[in-house]
Amino acid sequence: MASKKFYVVGEYHPKTLLVGVYTPNNQIGNQDYYNEEFLSLVHTLDLPYDLTYFMKLRAPDNNMFLTKGKLEELTKFCSENKIELVYFSEILHPLQERNLEAALGCNVGDRSRIILEIFKKSAHSSEGRIQVEMAEINHYKTRIIGRGTEMSQQAGILGNKGPGETAKEDLRRHIEEKIRQARKRLETLERSRTTQRKQRLESKIPLVCIIGYTNAGKSSLLNRIAKGDVLAEDKLFATLDTTTRELFIDNKKKALISDTVGFISQLPHNLIAAFKSTLDELRYASLLLQVIDLSNPAWKSQVSVVQATLDDLGVKQPIVYVFNKIDKLTPEQLEALQPELEQFQPQVLINTCSRKGVEPLIAYLSAYQL
Ligand SMILES: Nc1nc2c(ncn2[C@@H]2O[C@H](COP(=O)(O)OP(=O)(O)OP(=O)(O)O)[C@@H](O)[C@H]2O)c(=O)[nH]1
Ligand SMILES: [Mg+2]
C-alpha cells in the first residue's frame, strides 16, 4: 500500500520514502495507530518526504529485516520511484541496515535515527545535549565501524594492511576519543546531580515526578499545578530537560515536582542508556504521577510501554494514574471506558485546561502522605 505525501517546494532533498512496518514487536495500538505515530515522529522532526509505504511483517528477518517477498516488493517500488533515502519505522540492527542499503540501492535510516534527531533538536541543557551526543556517537559507532570492516576485508585481499584498514583504525580512535570526552563531561554533571540530590534528601523535602508517554500532557500539568513555564506543544518529545518546581498544596510547600522526558514505544536503547542518570532520579521520588492521554485510542498500550520502561529502569515507586484530556471525551465515552479504567488504581481524572480541571489531583495530593 503506497500513497503520495508532501514535497518541500524549492528545497533539495533526496527522494525519500517512509516505510511503516507493523511487526509483532510494535507493542502499541493497531496498525493504523502505529503508522500514525510514526508519521507524528517524522512531522515532529520536519523531515521532508515524498512517499509512504506501509506493510505488515509477521516475523522480522535477522539479516535483512524484511522477508524475501517483502524485500522484492520494496526493491521494485524503490527502483520504479527512483528513491534515494528510505526511513524505516522500526529499529534496525546495523547489519540489517547495511544489508537493506545494499539490496535497495538507497541510503537507509531507522527509528533510532529519527528519535535521535528529535532528541537533538529538543535538548537544551548541557546535560541533555551531552546525553544525546553520547547516544548519537554510540549509534553511529556500530554502523561506521561495521562498514569499516567491509573496507578492511577488501583491503585484506591484497595481502597488506590496506587503506580501508587504516581509515577504520583512525575512525575508531576518533570515535573513542569523542566518547571519552563526552563521558567525562557527563560524569562531572552526574556528580553535581548527586550533590543536589543529597541536599534535597537531607532537607527531607519529598519529590514527586511526572512521567508518561510523550505528548500525554506532562508539561501542561506541571505548568498548571506548579506555575511552571515549560514548553508544552503538540509535538513528541517537546521536553527533554528535567524541570523542577516547588509544589504548594493548601498554601503549604508539599514537595518538589519534576517533569521530564516522555517515553515512547521502542525508545532506542542508546537513548535510554544515555538518559539513565536523568531517569535514575525517578528512583528517589516519593510518588510518580503517570499522565495518560485518555483521548488517545492507544492509551492502554501507552500505559504498558511506560510500565515496561519503568521495569527496565528498576523503578518501583508508588504510582498514581492521572488520566488526562478528559475534556476531549463526551460523558458517554467516559462512561463506556469505566470498566477498563477500573484496573488502574489509584487514579484521578483530569484535564489541564483550567485550574478546576486539575482539582481531583490536587485533592488527592492534599490527602496523600508523602
Ligand atoms: N484538550 C486537551 N489538550 C491537552 C491537555 N493537556 C495537554 N494538552 C495538549 O497536549 C499537547 C501535549 O502537551 P504537553 O504538555 O507538551 O505534553 P508532554 O507530555 O509534556 O509531551 P512531551 O514533553 O513531548 O513528552 C499540547 O498540545 C497540550 O496543549 C488537556 O487536558 N486537554
Ligand atoms: Mg513535555
Beta-strand runs (E) in 36-135: 51-56, 85-88, 107-109
Asked if 105 and 130 sit in the same domain, the reply is no
Asked if 87 and 140 sit in the same domain, the reply is no
Question: How many domains in the chain?
Answer: 3
- For residue 267, being part of any structural domain is answered with yes
Asked if 232 and 333 sit in the same domain, the reply is yes
pLDDT band at 146 (very low <50, low <70, confident <90, very high): low
- For residue 119, being part of any structural domain is answered with no
The answer to whether 110 and 93 are in contact (CB under 8 A) is no
> Does the beta carbon of 237 sit less than 6 angstroms from any atom of ligand 1?
yes
For 56, the grid coordinates are 505488515
- For residue 114, being part of any structural domain is answered with no
Least reliable range by pLDDT among 52-56, 57-61, 250-254, 271-275? 271-275
- For residue 346, being part of any structural domain is answered with yes
> Does the beta carbon of 234 sit less than 6 angstroms from any atom of ligand 1?
yes
What CATH number corresponds to the domain at position 276?
3.40.50.300
> Does the beta carbon of 84 sit less than 6 angstroms from any atom of ligand 1?
no
Residue 32 has pLDDT above 70, yes or no: yes
The best mutation among 220, 257, 258, 329 to test binding of ligand 1, ranked by most ligand atoms within 8 Å of the C-beta, falls on 220
> Does the beta carbon of 217 sit less than 6 angstroms from any atom of ligand 1?
yes
In whole numbers, what is the pLDDT of the chain averaged over residues?
87
- For residue 105, being part of any structural domain is answered with yes
The best mutation among 121, 214, 215 to test binding of ligand 1, ranked by most ligand atoms within 8 Å of the C-beta, falls on 215
Query: How far are the Cα atoms of 148, 297, 298, 345 from residue 336, in angstroms, in the given order?
Result: 57, 13, 15, 18
More confident: 3 or 256: 256
Domain housing 210: 206-367
Q: What is the pLDDT of residue 145?
A: 67
- What pLDDT, in 10s, does the model give residues 322-339? 999 999 999 999 999 999
Asked if 175 and 45 sit in the same domain, the reply is no
Asked if 68 and 137 sit in the same domain, the reply is no
Asked if 335 and 227 sit in the same domain, the reply is yes
> Does the beta carbon of 215 sit less than 6 angstroms from any atom of ligand 1?
yes
Report the C-alpha gap between 321 and 361 in whole angstroms.
Answer: 10
Asked if 65 and 18 sit in the same domain, the reply is yes
| Ligand 1 atom closest to the CA of 239, numbered from 1 | 23
- What pLDDT, in 10s, does the model give residues 214-251? 999 999 999 999 976 667 777 777 776 778 888 999 88
Q: What is the pLDDT of residue 7?
A: 46
- What pLDDT, in 10s, does the model give residues 186-201? 888 888 888 888 888 8
Predicted TM-score of the model (pTM): 0.84
